[in-house]
Structure 1
Amino acid sequence: MTSDVYPPALSAAQIERFIEDGFVRIDDAFSRALAKEARGIMWRDIPFDADDPRTWTQPVVRLAGYGGGPFEKAVNTPVLHSAFDQLVGKGRWEPRSGLGSFPVRFPHPDDLGDAGWHVDLSFPGEDSNPDEQRDFSAWRVNITSRGRALLMLFLFSDVGQEDAPTRIRVGSHKDIARLLEPAGEGGMARLWLEHVGEERPLMHRGKEPRFMAQPGLAPSEPLRLEREDGAYSPVEIAIRLALQGS
């Protein structure tokens, strides 16, 4: 059953906010039951006792990619497929079978220095060596978001103010679009603190681990900032308005 059988996931107002703010929040995109099932699978790969916080001796455990089962179901709900169609365009995105890796963050006094403001990158450089291709911090991003139509944040646990929530700088996509335009197709790498903000988020000082995936939604065709038919997606509209100074 295709997503156009279902009502639109996002209202016109939500799409307008997405264009203006650079993100949209979708509540209940998948069920709590799926989230619980997925956490159970991941706990098997975590070297801690889920019921004993005294064993949580590291601030983060990075788990390899997860697909199938609850992970595949979570990224393929009707509401999400509808949202992808609305934001990227029908036929312009590639379905996913999983959610990739999970950096699971635990309450801990140590700061790994990996949680500052940054821009998520989407493709390796043309001349990158194998080591750089494995190091995502050495990847690049360009004005048309090559290789990724959307960056998605999938929360599989409840998160409060003290539980290492991922923060988003509202409207920062406009600054980044203008920064990237002169770099052309090759884009830029290592866009960190000095480019997008001066403030660092707090460490995880809550009581529960945070389970979150951050996969990309791959485009089935490159984003286009010039279309003769004017059929721009909201993602393309957001970039175009940013470059126009709006």
Structure 2
Amino acid sequence: MPTTEHLGLTSHEVQDFIDHGFVKIENAFSTELAQQCRNELWADIGLSPDQPDTWIRPVIRVGSKASPPFIEAANTDLLHKAYDQLVGVGRWLAPRGLGTFPIRFPSPDSPGDDGWHVDVSFGLDNPDFMEWRANVRSSGRALLMLFLLSDVGPNDAPTRIRKGSHPTLARELLPYGDAGATLRQLSANGYVSTEDCEVELATGAAGTVYLCHPFLVHAAQPHRGTQPRFMAQPPLLPRGEFDPALPPSPVQIAIRRACGLTL
């Protein structure tokens, strides 16, 4: 693990985030913390890693967890430094836990939730989740984050990422202004505007974190491996709206470059 003096992303990694929409951070939290988190999740779902005959559903979801291992995993010095570098110092709220958790099991069946999408970030009090919204300022979300709580290889249902899809979504959100677009509106065309993007798989050892631009198009996929995949996909929450008086963060720079905006 890097020392505190050398924590953080390189300038090349920050530029990759702007260009491609994500950065992969290995050893973002310890394998011991990952194991503690998995143990709690196994207990929550009432299953055991030693009884594969009981793994009969392709995916089981757990909402959020705020016990000490989850809080610690989300708040390592390395991650705090990366949050500062991508979102801006003082512009994000320290996570109070992790969630949600789509726990995926080896299965020949479709999980039923593996379509391409972006994560919307406000209007979440509407009972119709298709009416939840996102806007070009990314109100309510500073980052999309993928926390790998188990080792994830190519066959273990890694999240699929459409590399460099975030500028396209920024341009599509621009005409909707601050009111934003609903998930129904955003998904109406099946995200065909990003179908030519290269697909990257969010693989890595337990303790790996992918920090992603809020507009990155991504998707789940079926599990064709042998061991369950444990992952959390929380947002990093912003402290407030974009402030044009402050220097633009890499999140804002990517949006500005796509849309020619001053945010």
> Smaller-chain TM-score range?
0.7 to 0.9
Identity percentage over the alignment? 50
Separation in 1, partners of 2:86, 2:232: 20
Task: Name the amino acid aligned to 1:195.
Answer: Y
Q: Which one has the bigger strand percentage?
A: 2
Superposed CA deviations along residues 179-237 of structure 1, whole A, max 9, x for unmatched, are 0000111111223361255597641111111111111111112124xx356x1111110
What is the aligned partner in structure 2 of residue 21 from structure 1?
20
- Give the length in aligned residue pairs: 232
Separation in 2, partners of 1:206, 1:184: 43
Query: Does the CA contact (< 8 Å) of 2:149 and 2:230 recur in 1?
Result: yes
Q: Which secondary structure state, in structure 1, belongs to the residue aligned with residue 224 of structure 2?
A: coil
Q: Which secondary structure state, in structure 1, belongs to the residue aligned with residue 32 of structure 2?
A: helix
RMSD over aligned CA atoms reads 2.0
Separation in 2, partners of 1:97, 1:194: 33
User: Whose RCO is larger (CA < 8 A, sep 6+)?
Assistant: 2
Task: Name the amino acid aligned to 2:235.
Answer: G
Separation in 2, partners of 1:124, 1:182: 18
Separation in 1, partners of 2:234, 2:87: 15
What is the aligned partner in structure 2 of residue 76 from structure 1?
75
Unaligned runs of 5+ in 2: 197-218
1:113: Cα distance to partner? 2.3
Query: Does the CA contact (< 8 Å) of 2:111 and 2:221 recur in 1?
Result: no
TM-score scaled by length of structure 1: 0.88
Separation in 2, partners of 1:58, 1:98: 26
Query: Does the CA contact (< 8 Å) of 1:35 and 1:156 recur in 2?
Result: yes
Query: Does the CA contact (< 8 Å) of 2:65 and 2:97 recur in 1?
Result: yes
Taking the TM superposition and a 5 Å limit, the aligned residue runs for 1:1-246 are: 6-124=5-123, 129=126, 131-132=127-128, 135=129, 137-190=130-183, 191-192=186-187, 194-196=190-192, 197=194, 202-224=221-243, 227-228=244-245, 231-244=247-260
Task: Name the amino acid aligned to 1:67.
Answer: A
Q: 1:198 to 1:21 in 2, by over 3 A?
A: closer
1:51: Cα distance to partner? 0.7
Task: Name the amino acid aligned to 1:32.
Answer: T
Query: Does the CA contact (< 8 Å) of 1:6 and 1:82 recur in 2?
Result: no
What is the aligned partner in structure 1 of residue 200 from structure 2?
none
Separation in 2, partners of 1:149, 1:233: 10
1:163: Cα distance to partner? 0.7
Q: Which secondary structure state, in structure 2, belongs to the residue aligned with residue 153 of structure 1?
A: strand
1:54: Cα distance to partner? 1.2
TM-score scaled by length of structure 2: 0.83
